[in-house]
A and B are shown apart, each in its own frame.
Chain A
């Protein structure tokens, strides 16, 4: 592995997930050495557990966090606002891999949806056309099924219920993907063995993650200096206002300084704004790149929910790929449904360990027991749609709670927008109808889990006063500071690695031309 001196001003990337891991590979492949700092450990596929709680405890980000607001997560899981992975590979190790594309009008949310009270909608500074070539590259890299010649995954049991229900209620746009797990061997990785543990990290390596693809390849270039167990706690700047170094803590609590010529932050949408807020200085008294007061705001988590339906015959939903089933019929914007934006339906399966904790948090008694007793005959789906950005949904620094290093913990404040609630209720109703159409004897509306999709807290904007970064992810206020993860999403959807590939190309060009 390449070793870059701490005093050598380097391209420094913070976080090795979808954004950071992809960026590290694209830059090193273009001949640019990088330091990649990752707070979590270097855990390999063979170390993963086929057990929900063990895997969660092994890899989830469990540092202190707090919550506030009227969302139910704040009541049921006050210390766990989100499910994010802290390990090399980031949340791509636990993600399920559904990869539908953004639609063109979704980049123009404000223009398309108009003024929605309480929502801070904004058009993106880029269009679907700008992104299309990078979507292609990302889908090819991830081996998304149904795309670029990749075969579809076969129908598993949960999908059979889901797809037949879809057909019977008149949906057309259902399929087993696009889904970033191999149906056939591809790109040096084997076909899925349908083991059902992809939320636990896929031991078989059939699922794309930066751990199985981008990081080993970046290491192979000989240009990557990967440092696991390195938690960045501050980005410093020089008299010129440009970032000049990052300070990080190793697993024993020792502080280190890495000089930087470019800093790319990709800690996911809670840690990225937290780090910028923690990096306040005389020059940036409210946090780095936060002069316009958008860092941490407009936090989005997608409108989500689940429906679990019980049948009088076996389903065994846990056998097979967790989310290899997508329905897109409800994805378009049809305001006549009583809300703007759209949503997808996706198959979802939890084992009894997780189902008990999440199906109806706080519940007990015979009705709860009946849901669990029906486990083998249960089918499940997730609903996931665009949620409205709101300035008051935001990440702030806790005034009271500290993490293990003594640093202010992030607080995640969230209230559903009326549009989110209307969409969720509509989606619940239609999910239940779908299952009734194939004979469900009962079904249950499960509230949103701790957020797996965290977006928007350093949003992209054309004008500096409307956001944190420009269309390349470059901070409006700090010319060599980039945000390289889902925080940059101006509004609700799209796949992150896509943006990172595009940013890498820009950065490589700028670095080679000496513009940074």
Chain B
């Protein structure tokens, strides 16, 4: 993965998480999880259901408070990084009220709020950012639609566009490929590669292991803790996957057509 090694963006770490422990009312969801990501790379987060992927995202965003460990984004504390618009987050499922009287355009504009003044009056640059974000996810034609009048996959793209419009250097995407069609999947993969090229750091959780091979420079295998972490070529091995999935290894490593159905 030499695109990743020849970093033109300095080797400052974008995400530094050290020995994170998270529990929900005493039930441990994550322990001793560490993760260091530099600028300009895509990191895949892989693990079973309930392995703590979403929990890791929430910890990185400060939505759950780790009982131990430290997190820094762009060398700043999480709240500071958020105020600087250094990090954008798209949750696994948006818990929004889809009958809210608001258009796609306005939703994406919300990505810009953090960079606006107190009254949140959009400037030309904000409108441009929204326009480009919508263009990149191919939703420009639907920008005047109410958000509730989009299909599930389109809505997902709209929320991705909101994160893009934020122009953050770190993107945290929790299962962005869930429920989107093949075409959109391709579109998104290309987008992510472009973002990496522009120096963004992207953390993506996914259940589709073929994605990891396609465009992730780094991979993190987790099951309540980080089992393995490193360059995809080194870490994404049958043994490691067997460890992650408790013996079940999807046949994505043999180089053949990637199908997640035929397990070994």
Query: Is the A/B pair a real complex?
Result: no
